[in-house]
Amino acid sequence: MTSNQTLTLPYQAPWDWQQFHGHFRLRAIAGQECLGERDYCRSFRLGEITGWFRVTAPSDGHALTLEHSTSAIACQPLLVQRVRRMFDLDADPALIAAHFAADQHLAAMLARNPGLRLPTAFDAFEQAVRAIVGQQVTVKAAVTITGRLVDRLGEPLADAPAGIDRLFPTPEALAAANLDGIGMPGKRVQTLQHFAAQIASGALRLGIDQGASELIERLCALPGIGPWTAEYIALRAFGDADAFPASDLGLLKAPIWGSTGITARQLQLHAEAWRPWRAYAAAHLWHNYSGG
């Protein structure tokens, strides 16, 4: 196993490794991802290139270190761009804090967690699959089922660090697979495979070049994908700063709304004042709701 070099990825403080550690601890898929006390390692596919990378968060200094497989030299600029987005290293925390200063609830949350960012997926297709699998089930159940997909359909990866030996399945593999006994209702399997087939054929392209609302519209036009799934994909797959899944239970039941919670319509209206940073408001509400 060889690695060509280590890169430094700077960010504007504050930035909190513990937030990302907590995020990955709940979601890491064995064989594809490995989480250490101060580092995160995973396999990746970028076009025709496959390999692995490891991000380490030193306890001092305002930068992460990125180590990667030799194969990644050929796609290093794109890999760096994806990793920076994944760990939300380009956010300006002072700008976001200033925007939320007028909202007493959010201002208080920001004061408690000034380094909170928006953890984003490395790969948009993988995140979309996770969101579809995760419809109406717990995060833990979704990770278990997605892990089965990786086990069953992911290609093996050689010469990677211990614990990393598989790639996430391709759209083609997912679309064509027999998913009997995978642990999902038949309807959700149909939704997942139809989505994968649309991506494989090129009929659907995952991207927010035309804006997140255009992607959300295209996703909602697919059978079995509603606004929550589509908004969540925009938020988690692309780190869109204003994506906001207003029907999300964790947002509706956040402690700031009191014991009765709030309706999705009320939340939608309340969140207008949070534009263009609604996704960061969601990150704070989720953190406040779950305590992690």
What pLDDT, on a 0 to 100 scale, did the predictor assign at position 59? 87
Look up tokens 């890999």; give the residue. Answer: 79
Fold annotation for 3-92? TATA-Binding Protein (3.30.310)
* Inter-residue contact 67 to 248 (CB < 8 Å): no
For residue 137, the SS3 value is coil
Residue 204 identity (one-letter amino acid): L
290: left (phi over 0), alpha (psi -120 to 50) or beta: alpha
Residue 247: other Cβ atoms inside 10 A: 17
CA distances from 281 to 56, 141, 272 (A): 27, 26, 11
Closest C-alpha to 26, from 139, 105, 119: 139
Rg (alpha carbons) of the chain, rounded to whole number: 19
Domain boundaries along the sequence of the chain: 3-92
Quick one: tokens of 133?
């699998």
Give the whole-angstrom CA distance, residue 287 versus residue 291: 5
What pLDDT, on a 0 to 100 scale, did the predictor assign at position 288? 80
User: Which active-site residues does the annotation give?
Assistant: 248
What pLDDT, on a 0 to 100 scale, did the predictor assign at position 4? 56
Quick one: tokens of 251?
């947002």
What pLDDT, on a 0 to 100 scale, did the predictor assign at position 105? 86
Please list the alpha-helical segments (H only) found in the chain.
17-27, 76-86, 93-100, 104-112, 124-133, 139-153, 171-176, 186-201, 212-220, 227-238, 249-252, 264-271, 278-290
Around 57, how many Cα atoms within 13 Å sit in the side-chain half-sphere? Answer: 20
DSSP state of 160: -
Quick one: tokens of 184?
């999902």
C-alpha 251: how far from its chain's center? Answer: 17
Q: What is the pLDDT along the chain (292 residues), one digit of tens a residue?
A: 444 578 999 999 999 999 999 999 999 999 999 999 999 999 999 999 999 999 999 988 899 999 999 999 999 999 999 999 999 999 999 999 999 999 988 999 999 999 899 999 999 999 999 999 999 899 999 999 999 999 999 999 999 999 999 999 999 999 999 999 999 999 999 999 999 999 999 999 999 998 899 999 999 999 999 999 999 999 999 999 999 999 998 999 999 999 999 999 999 999 999 999 999 999 999 988 765 4
Backbone angles phi, psi at 3, to 5 degrees: -130, 140
What pLDDT, on a 0 to 100 scale, did the predictor assign at position 290? 67
Closest C-alpha to 27, from 236, 234, 280, 185: 236
